Chain A
Amino acid sequence: MQEFAGWRTDSATIRRFMFTSVDNSAAVKFFDDPSAVGTMVVSIFPEVVREVYAQPRSAEPPTRGGPSPRSLGTGAGASERSEVQTVQFEPERNAARAFIFHYATAAVLEGMGVIPKVDSAFGRFGNKDCDKGSFTGIPNARPKC
């Protein structure tokens, strides 16, 4: 499992990924471009294998989602030491797979109909103490209270 914990700032340092308000996100503070806030893309490019011929491209048109509500962006948090290492690698020109995530608070996803609404008077966990403490509002998340 490979972990990606932050924005690379130089060859020895990253700044931690941090879900924060849209106004405090790196996209707004450093790039003045909130157009893609709330999205993550992970594209996977296989290594070139010379003995294998490239697969023909599909003629199928791309499918694209509409805009999703934004509640949080990703900021640049604390600096951490993270040395760059290099390897020899020749990637293929086209990704084998791309993962697109829309990230948002549970409340926003509820509003979108992604998460079913819960009518419990004591919140998702049936424990009124959770509503006062660090109740996360996220299904299946373990409350800290």
Chain B
Amino acid sequence: MQRIALASLIVVSFTGAAQAQNRAVTVGDHLVAIEMDRLGTMPIYPAQVRDGRKGGTPISFTHVAVEKGDYKVLVQNNGARRVLACIAIDGRNILNGEKVGRDYNELSAWQAPGKAPATS
């Protein structure tokens, strides 16, 4: 059993309907959106690259239009199972700064023993 920072855990939730399609990406039970402090959730556009798979993991590609300013990443789990959300921005794990390569579909790519923030 592993201890995971709550900041990266999405607790099971059945509440909250999916947002407008162009303001979030919703696939199956999971929703992801980018929210800027000044502008709210930002418009999302389908990528010219088609969605694909990586090692059996379905991958969704999209573009999001943004401008300078503070923002948040919003993640919602509408499924019955708890999930762990791992996030990389500009190629770096937001929790420990470690580089996340192309194996983002594998948990080992996100684990950096001894470098994660205190979790005990």
Contact = CB atoms under 8 A, between A and B. Distances in A.
Contacts of A120: none
A55 B2 CA distance: 22
Given A4-B75, A94-B105, A99-B32, A139 B62 contact: no
25 contacts: A8-B7, A11-B118, A17-B72, A17-B94, A19-B66, A19-B68, A19-B69, A41-B87, A43-B105, A60-B52, A61-B53, A65-B48, A65-B61, A72-B66, A73-B90, A74-B90, A84-B5, A94-B107, A95-B57, A98-B54, A98-B105, A113-B48, A138-B42, A138-B43, A140-B22
Contacts, number: 308
Interface residues of A, number: 91
Interface of A: 1-8, 10-11, 16-21, 25-27, 30-31, 33-47, 49, 55-58, 60-66, 68, 72-74, 77-78, 82, 84-106, 109, 112-115, 136-142, 144
A104 B66 contact: yes
Given A17-B70, A30-B97, A87-B9, A141 B3 contact: no
B86 A43 contact: yes
B23 to A, nearest CB: 8
Given A42-B86, A92-B107, A113-B48, A8 B95 contact: yes
A100 B67 contact: no
Interface of B: 1-11, 13, 16, 22, 25, 27-28, 30, 32, 34-36, 38-40, 42-45, 47-77, 79, 81-92, 94-97, 99-100, 102, 104-108, 110, 117-120
Contact of B88 (A6, A41, A49, A142): A41
Contact of B69 (A18, A64, A94): A18
Given A86-B4, A101-B25, A101-B63, 13 more contacts: A6-B94, A17-B73, A17-B94, A18-B68, A21-B68, A43-B110, A63-B51, A89-B9, A89-B82, A101-B32, A109-B45, A109-B65, A138-B43
Nearest to A47: B82
Given A60-B53, A105-B66, A138-B42, A84 B7 contact: yes
A113 to B, nearest CB: 7
A17 B63 contact: no
